[in-house]
Each structure stands twice: as C-alpha cells, then as structure tokens.
Structure 1
C-alpha cells in the first residue's frame, strides 16, 4: 500500500490510521480479499480524518472518513458522523450533489472509531478555484449556495436540536442546552467560559422571543465555500458537489452558518439571499430582529461563538467546528488544523 499521511504532532486531535487499520476497514466494507493500492490523507477539515483510497478492483477511488475516538470528542460534538449518516434521508433535496454512502461501521470493533466510506465526487475544492474567476461571476456561486441552503431549510423536522437527539420541543431549550455543553467543553480545557454562561442566561431570559420559531427546519450547519466542489473548466463558478454535512441540526434557518456568512461582507455573497430569501425574511420586523441580534442568541451549534455585530441580523454563529470556541479548544488539546484548519479559523476572526 502506498500511504501518504499529513504530518501532525503525536497529540494532534486528528489521529492517523496505520496501513493495517486501513486495510482492515476496507476488508470489512468490501470483503476479505480487498486490496488497497493507495491511501492519501486529505486536508481541509478539523474533525474527521479523511483518506482517498485506491482499491485494486475499483476504477474510481473511494473516500474513507474516520471519526475521532469517543474519548477525544467534545460534549458539544458527540458522534457527528452518526448525525451525518442519519441526515442522509432528510437531505434528499440535494442528494444529487452529495457523495453516496458505500459502507459504514459504528460498532467500533475494527479500529475503535466510527467510520464511513463514501463515493468519490469529481471537482475542485471551491477555495482553490473560486479566486481564479472574475469577481463579477462570484454572484452566481453564492446564489447557488443560497439555492442549496433554501432546499435544505424547506425540510421540516420532528424537534429542535441534534438530528439524532436529544430533541427539544422549544427552540430556546435547544439553544440554551447547546451553550451549556460548549461552556463545559471550554471549562474542561481550563479556559474561562463566563461569556458562554452569560449567553446561556440571556437565551433563557429571552426564551419567549426565541420560541417565536415554531417549526424546526433542517440546518446545514457548516455549508460554505470550504464544503463545496466546483466543476473544472466551467465559464462561471459552478457547484458540482457538497461535502461534510455532519453538523446538520433542527432549528431556525436564520441561525444557519451560511446565513451568517452571507452577511459577513457587503459584496457578491449577498446574492445568497436572492435564492434563499427565507432567512432574510426573519429580520423583517423589530421583534424578529431582536431574536437574532438582541440579548437572546440564535442557535449555537456545537463549537459556536457569539457574533458581536450590533445592528446586523446575525446573532450566534452556527457551524460547529468553524467557531472560534472550538479553535481555542483544539489549540489547548494540541490539535494541528493543517491547511483546512487555518481556513476555518481565519474566516471566523
């Protein structure tokens, strides 16, 4: 097997697999005679460890994604891979853009970790290709992200909170619970979580406003440029794939990560709202606006951090591992974000 791994410190959050482990996973998925010709570790993320595998009996490569060991997972980010697996039927409106799940194993009997094998999606990561297009064409890209987000937000769910539960009957309960879990993660690393505790208190005090959101909607959790693939050679940036939907939640679309990111700058990204007007509509009135920028925070997904931009309809940042809170935790735990990690932290600062 030709194995290429990303160099990381021994105590890095993302732990690599050995050749023997990769072969064991492949044989569990495809049979005892499976041969792995190559395994290339891929960067671009901060949570799962990901490989592109070349198999002897398959023309196309496959993607192996491996979750952190259970003991290394934060309270606010438990079993994200299982959440993504459970999300697949709910993400049917964008199934044509997503990889197919070829095999999965949550027994942890092979390598002591959850893992999933997905089909390989052709395309170029958007951060690598988007900048080569003239600025004037970027509107089409962000409009397409808005269309994808709108399709996901149109799906109503059974409760507020994580896809796999525990579910909450009220939006405020999901927000407060999430904030407390993040605070516990911060404190477990010896960091001060006073701001998060105050935010949870503010959310509780403003529960009546938060609970104006009566219907749980499917949230992408982390959809933005780093989770999309572009078609090579297209005249305008054209999204041909969407990756890593492991931070989906049931909640308010106004709290979704792409909704926040679309307002981060006054540029082409505002085209997002031409295709996803529902999120913008949440800011229509003074009471609705207070829901997202006042004392009561919006959804704080695992790893979220408060957005301090007075007068703008942003509230709390969703998106799990994209938040500065998680970046601080990983730094304390000795994580090495790698190429993708730097992108994720920079975009929040």
Structure 2
C-alpha cells in the first residue's frame, strides 16, 4: 500500500493514523487492503484520507481522540442525523461503513463515497455569478430547515423538551470549555445569565427543525456554477433555524452578494423577540469560534472574539 500522511507538530490537534492502522480499518470495512491511502489537507477537525482500492476512491474520516464539550461526538451526531437529510440526499456522500467500537483505533471512523466537483472555496473564487451561488445555497438550507423533529438538541443526544433547555446546555458547555482552555469566560457567563433570564423568549420556538450546523462555502462542492455536493454535517442539531451557522454567515455582510441568499431562503423575522434570539445565537457562535481558534493555536485571533462578544452582550442586556 502506498501511504502518505501529513507531518504535524507534537502539539497539533489533528493526528494521523499509521499505515498499519489504515490497512486494518480498511480490512474491517472492505475485507482487503487498499492500493493507496493519502491524507488530505484542508480540514481542521477530523483526519481525512483518500483511499483507493483500484476502482472508485473512497474517503476515510477519522475523528480526533479528544475534543471540547461543544465538539464532542461529532461523527456520531452526523451518523445519527443522516436519515433526516433525505431531502438533499442526492447532494451528500453515501456512508459505506461506520465503526464506533474503538477496537482497532481509539477513535470513531467512517468511510464515505467521494463527491464530485471541486472544493467550495476553489469553485467559489472562479464563479462569474456569485449571487446565483447564494441563491442555490439559500434553497438548500431552506430544504434542510423544512425537516421537522420531535425534541431539541443533538441527534445522538442529549435531547430536550424545550428550546431554552437546549440553548442553556450549549452555553453552559461553552463556559466549561473556555475555562478548561484557560480562557476568560466572564462574557460567556453573562450570556448564560441573560439566556436563563429570557427563557420565555427562547421558548417561543416550539417546533424543532433540522440544522446542518456548518453549511457554507467550505462545505460544498461545485461543478461550474452548480452546487453538486454538501458534506460535513457533524454539527447537525434540532433547533431554531435562525440559530444555524448558515443564517449567521448569510447575515454577516449585508449589502454584498450574500444578500441573494434571502431571495430563495426567505427573509428572517425582524420582531424584537427574533432580534434578541438572533443576538444570542451570534454569542453562541462567537464562543464556539473562540474555542476553535484556541484549539487550532490561532492565539492572535482570539482577542477579536472578546471585542465582538462585548458588542453582542450590549445588545442582549
């Protein structure tokens, strides 16, 4: 087997498998060893390989050995939510094999089909009709958000009867993660207090909807002007559509090509309650981004998250 891995420093979050480990998981999943396994760059959470058995290549994704609370069991949430993404199944990779036993390696892993097209960032840069891209994306996100659930929270659990319980759980986990990381959590503690004080506003959301959790340019594939692939729904959850990462990203730069997203998705509510919830969701995303930057060793970018959070907390008070 030809094997290529990425060389990383001792403190890197992502860790490669050995050639022997890759061969072992391939034997378990397919009954044979591959011709080649090449580790792919670009992601920042799972370790990913292009595996070739001599015909169609497949993708091997291996979860990290540890993660923060808000990032825990991502691969299991992705797998548990997969049936509910049926309305866009034609755009998504097919799961070929899953192993959460930790028998062969102390990590979850999955094999999936390889999507066609080019990466979202590469394809997006070459687009002549960027508003058209965002219209396509808005339609896909609207389709996902049309899927109804019965309880709030992560697909593999825990789940909650009310939206406020689910949100408070995420905020509390973020506070704990920030403390574990040695980062100042005082602003997130204030967010937690404000959320607890306004549970009635959160509980105006009574119907759980499916959220992709990370659907934006990096997690699509493009063939020319068309979106032909959607992947990495490991942050999927049941909640308020306005809390999804797609909505956060679509609203970040008003007055740009991103505004075309709303042409197909529909404009969000501008009621006072909806505006307050939107600010809270931005606080949750900002906390998650802070933790991710710390995990990736991007210390210079962390202070900006405190500046952004200060503005959001002022809106929430």
The question of a shared fold, defined as TM-score above 0.5 by the shorter chain, is answered with: yes
Residue 342 of structure 1 aligns with which residue?
A: none
Question: Per the alignment, in what secondary structure is the counterpart of residue 24 of structure 2?
Answer: helix
Q: 2:113 aligns with which of 114, 119, 137?
A: 119
Q: 2:195 aligns with which of 203, 210, 229?
A: 203
Q: Structure 1 residues 162, 300: closer, same or farther in 2, change over 3 A?
A: farther
Residue 245 of structure 1 aligns with which residue?
A: 233
Q: What pairs with 1:75-114 in structure 2 (closer than 5 Å)?
A: 75-114=69-108
Please give the alpha-carbon distance, in whole angstroms, between the structure 2 residues aligned to 1:147 and 1:112.
Answer: 39
1:331 aligns with 2:297: yes
Residue 263 of structure 1 aligns with which residue?
A: 251
Q: CA deviation at 1:299?
A: 7.6
Q: Is the 8 A contact 2:221 2:230 kept in 1?
A: yes
Q: Is the 8 A contact 1:26 1:36 kept in 2?
A: yes
Q: Structure 1 residues 189, 291: closer, same or farther in 2, change over 3 A?
A: closer
Please give the alpha-carbon distance, in whole angstroms, between the structure 2 residues aligned to 1:97 and 1:131.
Answer: 21
Q: Is the 8 A contact 1:44 1:226 kept in 2?
A: no
Q: CA deviation at 1:81?
A: 0.2
TM-score, scaled to structure 1: 0.82
Q: Structure 1 residues 300, 287: closer, same or farther in 2, change over 3 A?
A: closer
Residue 7 of structure 1 aligns with which residue?
A: 7
Question: Per the alignment, in what secondary structure is the counterpart of residue 281 of structure 1?
Answer: coil
Residues 91-135 of structure 1 deviation map (CA, whole Å, 9 limit, x = unaligned): 00110000000001000101111100001111100101211223x
Q: CA deviation at 1:305?
A: 1.4
1:222 aligns with 2:214: yes
Q: Is the 8 A contact 2:248 2:282 kept in 1?
A: no
Q: Is the 8 A contact 2:191 2:283 kept in 1?
A: no
Residue 157 of structure 1 aligns with which residue?
A: 149
Residue 23 of structure 2 aligns with which residue?
A: 23
Please give the alpha-carbon distance, in whole angstroms, between the structure 1 residues aligned to 2:243 and 2:155.
Answer: 15
Residue 170 of structure 2 aligns with which residue?
A: 178
Residues 160-217 of structure 1 deviation map (CA, whole Å, 9 limit, x = unaligned): 1111111111111111110111111111121111111111111111111111111111
Residue 314 of structure 2 aligns with which residue?
A: none
Residue 281 of structure 1 aligns with which residue?
A: 268
Residues 17-75 of structure 1 deviation map (CA, whole Å, 9 limit, x = unaligned): 110000000000011xx12111111122211100000113xx11000000011xx2211
Q: 2:59 aligns with which of 63, 66, 69?
A: 63
1:138 aligns with 2:138: no
Moved more, 185-194 or 245-254: 185-194
Higher helix share: 2
Q: Is the 8 A contact 2:163 2:202 kept in 1?
A: yes
Please give the alpha-carbon distance, in whole angstroms, between the structure 2 residues aligned to 1:17 and 1:325.
Answer: 25
Aligned residues: 301
Structure 1: any 5+ residue segments left out of the alignment?
Answer: 307-319, 335-344
Name segments (4+ residues, structure 1) moved above 4 Å: none
Residue 276 of structure 2 aligns with which residue?
A: 290
Please give the alpha-carbon distance, in whole angstroms, between the structure 1 residues aligned to 2:203 and 2:283.
Answer: 15
Q: CA RMSD in A?
A: 2.0
TM-score, scaled to structure 2: 0.90
Please give the alpha-carbon distance, in whole angstroms, between the structure 2 residues aligned to 1:55 and 1:43.
Answer: 20
